[in-house]
Amino acid sequence: MSYLFTSESVSEGHPDKIADQISDALIDNFLAFDKSSKVACETMVTTGQVFLAGEVKSKTYLDVQKIARDVINKIGYTKGAYMFDGNSCGVLSAIHEQSPDINQGVDRANPEEQGAGDQGMMFGYATDETENYMPLALELSHRLLIELAALRRENKDIPYLRPDAKSQVTIEYSDDNVPQRIDAIVISTQHDDFDKSDDVMLAKIKKDIVEILIPRVVAKLPAHLQKLFTDNITYHINPTGVFVIGGPHGDTGLTGRKIIVDTYGGKGAHGGGAFSGKDPSKVDRSGAYATRHIAKNLVAAGLCKEVLVQVSYAIGVAKPTSINVETYGTATVDLTDGEISKKVESLFDMRPYFIEKRLKLRSPIYSETAAYGHMGRTPEVKTVTFTNPMGETTSEEVETFTWEKLDYVDAIKEAFKL
């Protein structure tokens, strides 16, 4: 019996994602000038206002107002009509020094003994149903909004688009878990008030989404995924009606409220901890990246078709309290999942210090993660430049999305005799 599975995504202009991007821009600026910075910062955005709060231990000083405004303007909130724009919104900071009670559990005389920044469990997931080993419904949801944002910036084929948007894709699977077709696509996009008639506006938006956006997305997909876009897709385009009031004016945004969008769209599992605004000593972030790195390499090596990797920590303790691998019965080796877990534990050192070193996490690489998912992205080497209020400028070469690299495939094949 076939079944349906659904995932959603939100655009970079969604209020919660604005908050995530500001929080991660602060992380990048702190790390650019002080690699040892410990940061946990939260952002709230609402009509005409940005509120920053959190705890920081760092040797550098930042102009947090300018950082927040630059992020907002880059996203596209640059007009007073949006009731939220980077040049005129208020920015209030309540960031203060990190508690020494927390810091004593992380810093050690021997860096290798660095303790976990918190207790908790983190999950990494991978599946072979897409080329980047991500769940298909989430991958398509992200792609729809990435392309929609490109159309907004081009301001040509669909000139009325505003920054806030959401998408949702429902996939029909066969009973052996193979995608068969797309059953439904939902897109809600903020837009200008470009006609006196609501019906005319909605008809125009639906026509443009179906006839302009969808073909652009399909054209960039591999052939086997293009076939899933049949004439039988049900489209729900702005199903509530007009969507002129949006962004932080329409809905307050908070850091860390889109953790399923950020990860696997509801596939696998989630430990509950958000990523944005946290430096890599917080295992909510680094542990989740490390388990994704493991999961992706396991599937790419041919050990299994689908896998969920869990790690857990006690605050202030370096060694994980557990590492678990679940292959959903898809393993290609004659080993139990428990036996696979033991081998994985010997291949990947999951102590926080070694995760940071292996994945190069003490670099200013986080702003890009804060929209369209932290997983399934393409690693890239680039040069980034930052300037602080004292007029100091620093540039460095960084490697983004290192947890997506397939650099352990050979080691896994050797360990499991694949």
- Please name the residue that has the structure tokens 């857990």: 312
E strand intervals along 291-410: 306-313, 322-326, 380-387, 393-400
Q: How far apart (Å, rounded) are the C-alpha atoms in residues 260 and 242? A: 27
Residue 306 annotated as part of some ligand binding site: no
- Please name the residue that has the structure tokens 């369209």: 372
Q: How far apart (Å, rounded) are the C-alpha atoms in residues 263 and 159? A: 31
Residue 16 annotated as part of some ligand binding site: yes
Residue 199 annotated as part of some ligand binding site: no
Residue 362 annotated as part of some ligand binding site: no
Q: How far apart (Å, rounded) are the C-alpha atoms in residues 139 and 23? A: 24
Residue 339 annotated as part of some ligand binding site: no
- Token pair for 297: 């390499």
Bridge partners (DSSP) of residue 309 are: 124, 325
Q: How far apart (Å, rounded) are the C-alpha atoms in residues 413 and 173? A: 30
Residue 407 annotated as part of some ligand binding site: no
Amino acid at 82: Y
24: CB partners within 8 A, 6+ apart: 276, 277, 366, 367, 369, 370
Question: 397 near 383, Cβ under 8 Å?
Answer: yes
Residue 417 annotated as part of some ligand binding site: no
271: CB partners within 8 A, 6+ apart: 120, 121, 122, 123, 284, 288, 310
226: CB partners within 8 A, 6+ apart: 218
Residue 284 annotated as part of some ligand binding site: no
Residue 81 annotated as part of some ligand binding site: no
Residue 198 annotated as part of some ligand binding site: no
Residue 206 annotated as part of some ligand binding site: no
Residue 231 annotated as part of some ligand binding site: no
- Token pair for 112: 């290798």
What is the bridge-based pairing of β-strands 90-97 and 49-57? Answer: parallel
Residue 351 annotated as part of some ligand binding site: no
Distance of CA 70 to the CA centre of its chain: 20
Residue 377 annotated as part of some ligand binding site: no
- Please name the residue that has the structure tokens 């007029």: 391
Which residues fall in the annotated binding site? 14, 16, 42, 55, 98, 164-166, 251, 257-258, 274, 278, 282
Which residues fall in the annotated binding site for L-methionine? 55, 98, 251, 282
Which residues fall in the annotated binding site for ATP? 14, 164-166, 251, 257-258, 274, 278
Which residues fall in the annotated binding site for K(+)? 42
Which residues fall in the annotated binding site for Mg(2+)? 16
